[in-house]
């Protein structure tokens, strides 16, 4: 054992030494890979680019010549499928091949490419570069590359357009009242959706590329003057520190930038709805949009955000406040109900009302397993059913629900394998766990954690677990913001949007721990009321 540990530590030391050495070598490697620049000759340039991406079947290289005497040869390089052929045909090829004949200029000069850019192309976004890497990257993102003979620069014409899912109602966050649109996999669509919500010049969307191989575009959206600049700086630092080869979904980013990677609680929130992302940005948070993912990350995250829902703010406050409390109750049930049942039936039978004890004892009679095993078993069965429900193809869905509900619920009780009260408790827990979708993951783990504690230590164990949980939650920070705020540290005015939801006109300030940079959200005295009698008379 000891021997193994020594070997392991030696190995680790070697690894870290290697890493150090590699870091030292890195600059020299970069020097060797200095990007090649374009030359004057079209043929050389074409060969250069072909050498990088030429083997791909979707690369289209269109060679043509233009100008009056058709003496200027040029090439278009683009990826079919990622570009819009209409733009290429109508706005690039047509002006160059037909309209250039009308121009009276003779042979193109060295700065001709600039002339083409400014006068010939009727496309919005056109840039110029001589760097071969940059050109290839841009081509891979959907630009069309125009190479002209005798020019050492190429034009990158933005023609990106590909098939993507239309803006749809999000599957994960259903609302009764509120906008139905959700983010899509297309980054541009997503930023557009955000811009449409916040038409303000201060809404800043900054872009960086992450992933050496995937070169995924990642945008940071925030409102300048509202978001804490230090927060933005920290987000950028953490994003730039991600040195990985691929970012396929925003979940990758979440795991690379979160504060407490060992905690079961997520410290980065995500949403699929532009309106809730916009609301969070307007409270002073920053959003991270990732190309290829409809899930937008919002930072920082508070625990109470899990219990908030975008249509809370669209409906009137009274019922919403009631539902908020139901959510907290449901979360408590989802993590504590099986544990409480186990604790009551194995340790604290004296706490059960006598009449209830009768029926519980009668149901438990002849059940072969201890309550702890029952609770764990049923918990696992439920998780299996749930996972099966997520993964299974739609047409076989009914089979699982029949097997789950009938065989496992009904038959297990009739066969005397499980007591009926336990089935009720597990079913209640299962339903309650879906009330707070943001904490379903943590709830599943906590449920088992508490059941085990209750099985060994009873109510005392549950209490220990709760205290431990509270200590852990209080220790969490999300980008410097206490995870439990506004409860700890207590901010009384922010409790207006916690267990209850105060009327909108009463929520004058932004959450103190997040929007402190510009606290005031709206004017005082916005409470609607009919005009005073004196006012109407004077009119």
Q: Binding residues for other proteins, per CB under 8 A?
A: 262, 345-347, 349-350, 354, 357-367, 370-371, 456-458, 460, 464, 468
Nearer to other proteins, 164 or 414 (CB): 414
For other proteins, which is the closer residue by CB, 338 or 515?
A: 338
Query: CB-based contacts of 190: which residues, under 8 Å, 6+ apart?
Result: 183, 184, 219, 274, 289, 294, 296
Distance in angstroms (rounded) separating the CA atoms of residues 307 and 331: 9
Q: How many CA atoms lie within 13 A of 488 on its CB side?
A: 10
Asked if 290 contacts 215 with a C-beta cutoff of 8 angstroms, the reply is no
Least Cβ distance, residue 411 to other proteins (angstroms): 16
Q: In this complex, which beta carbon is closest to other proteins, that of residue 16 or of residue 201?
A: 16
Pick between residue 230 and residue 464 the one whose CB is nearest to other proteins: 464
Q: How far is CA 163 from CA 82, 83, 85, in A?
A: 8, 10, 13
Shortest Å distance, C-beta 470 to other proteins = 13
Which is nearer to other proteins, 367 or 506 (by Cβ)?
Answer: 367
Nearer to other proteins, 8 or 165 (CB): 8
- DSSP string covering 397-431: HHHHHHIIIIIIIIIHHHTTSS-HHHHHHHHHHHH
Shortest distance in whole angstroms from residue 480 CB to other proteins: 21
Q: How far is the CB of 321 from other proteins (least distance, A)?
A: 36
Q: Please state the closest distance from residue 269 (CB atom) to other proteins, in A.
A: 24
Partner residues linked to 197 by β-bridges: none
CA distance 185 to 164: 7
Dist CA 17 CA 22 (whole Å): 9
**∠ at Cα 411 (409, 415), nearest 5°?**
125
CA dist 440 → 251, 265, 306, 313, 538 (Å): 16, 10, 10, 22, 59
Task: Read off the tokens for 524.
Answer: 């005082």
Structure tokens at 261: 């990677």
Closest CB to other proteins among residues 358, 516: 358
The DSSP bridge partners found for residue 59 are 79
72 within 8 A of 108, measured Cβ to Cβ: yes
What are the φ/ψ torsions at residue 95 (nearest 5 degrees)? -60, -40
Least distance in Å: CB of 214 to other proteins?
30
Question: Rounded to the nearest whole angstrom, what is the least distance from the CB of residue 306 to other proteins in the complex?
Answer: 24
- For the chain, the first-to-last Cα distance in angstroms comes to 92
As measured in angstroms, the least distance from the Cβ of 381 to other proteins is 20
| Sign of CA pseudo-dihedral 51, 56, 57, 60 | negative
Closest distance between other proteins and the C-beta of residue 344, in Å? 9
Cβ-based nearer residue to other proteins, 348 or 520: 348
Beta carbon nearer to other proteins, 93 or 452: 452
Q: Which is nearer to other proteins, 464 or 526 (CB)?
A: 464
**DSSP run (H or E) holding 469:** helix 440-475
Q: How far is the CB of 198 from other proteins (least distance, A)?
A: 40
Contact 125, 157 (CB under 8 A): yes
Complex with other proteins: residue 343 or 438, whichever CB lies closer: 343
Q: Are 214 and 248 in contact (CB under 8 A)?
A: yes
Number of Cβ within 10 Å of residue 201's Cβ equals 7
Distance CA 46, CA 206 (A): 33
Minimum distance from residue 457 beta carbon to other proteins (Å): 6
């Amino acid at each position: 054992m000891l021997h193994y540990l020594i070997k392991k530590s030696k190995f680790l030391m070697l690894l870290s030494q290697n890493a150090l050495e590699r870091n030292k070598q890195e600059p020299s490697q970069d020097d060797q890979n200095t990007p090649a620049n374009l030359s004057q000759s079209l043929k050389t340039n074409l060969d250069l680019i072909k050498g990088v991406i030429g083997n791909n079947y979707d690369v289209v290289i269109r060679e043509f010549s233009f100008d009056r005497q058709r003496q200027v040869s040029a090439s278009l390089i683009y990826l079919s499928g990622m570009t819009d052929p209409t733009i290429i045909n109508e706005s690039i090829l047509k002006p160059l091949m037909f309209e250039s004949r009308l121009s009276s200029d003779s042979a193109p000069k060295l700065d001709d490419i600039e002339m083409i850019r400014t006068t010939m192309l009727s496309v919005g976004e056109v840039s110029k570069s001589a760097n071969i890497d940059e050109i290839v990257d841009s081509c891979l993102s959907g630009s069309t590359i125009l190479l002209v003979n005798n020019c050492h620069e190429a034009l990158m014409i933005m023609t990106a357009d590909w098939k993507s899912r239309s803006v749809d109602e999000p599957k994960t966050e259903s609302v009764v009242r509120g906008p139905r649109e959700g983010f899509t996999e297309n980054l541009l669509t997503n930023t557009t959706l955000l811009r449409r919500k916040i038409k303000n010049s201060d809404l800043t969307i900054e872009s960086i590329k992450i992933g050496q191989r995937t070169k995924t575009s990642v945008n940071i959206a925030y409102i300048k003057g509202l978001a804490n600049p230090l927060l933005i700086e920290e987000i950028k630092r953490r994003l730039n520190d991600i040195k990985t080869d691929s970012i396929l979904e925003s979940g990758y980013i979440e795991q690379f930038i979160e504060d407490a990677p060992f905690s079961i609680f997520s410290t980065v929130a995500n949403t699929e709805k532009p309106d809730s992302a916009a609301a969070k940005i307007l409270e002073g948070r920053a959003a991270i949009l990732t190309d290829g993912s409809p899930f937008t990350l919002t930072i920082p995250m508070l625990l109470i955000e899990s219990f908030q829902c975008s249509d809370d703010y669209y409906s009137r406050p009274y019922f919403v406040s009631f539902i908020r409390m139901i959510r907290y109750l449901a979360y408590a049930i989802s993590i504590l109900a099986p544990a409480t049942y186990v604790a009551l039936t194995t340790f604290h039978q004296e706490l059960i009302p006598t009449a209830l004890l009768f029926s519980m004892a009668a149901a438990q009679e002849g059940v072969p397993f201890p309550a702890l095993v029952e609770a764990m078993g049923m918990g696992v069965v439920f998780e299996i059913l749930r996972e099966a429900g997520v993964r299974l193809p739609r047409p076989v869905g009914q089979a699982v629900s029949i097997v789950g509900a009938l065989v496992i619920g009904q038959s297990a009780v009739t066969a005397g394998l499980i007591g009926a009260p336990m089935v009720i408790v597990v079913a209640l827990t299962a339903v309650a766990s879906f009330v707070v979708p943001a904490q379903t993951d943590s709830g599943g783990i906590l449920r088992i954690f508490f059941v085990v504690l209750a099985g060994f230590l009873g109510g005392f164990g549950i209490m220990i677990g709760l205290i431990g949980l509270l200590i852990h939650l209080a220790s969490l920070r999300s980008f410097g913001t206490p995870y439990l705020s506004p409860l700890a540290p207590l901010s009384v005015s922010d409790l207006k949007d916690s267990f209850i939801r105060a009327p909108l006109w009463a929520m004058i300030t932004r959450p103190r721990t997040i929007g402190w940079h510009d606290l005031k959200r709206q004017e005082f005295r916005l409470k609607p009321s009919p005009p005073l009698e004196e006012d109407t008379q004077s009119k």
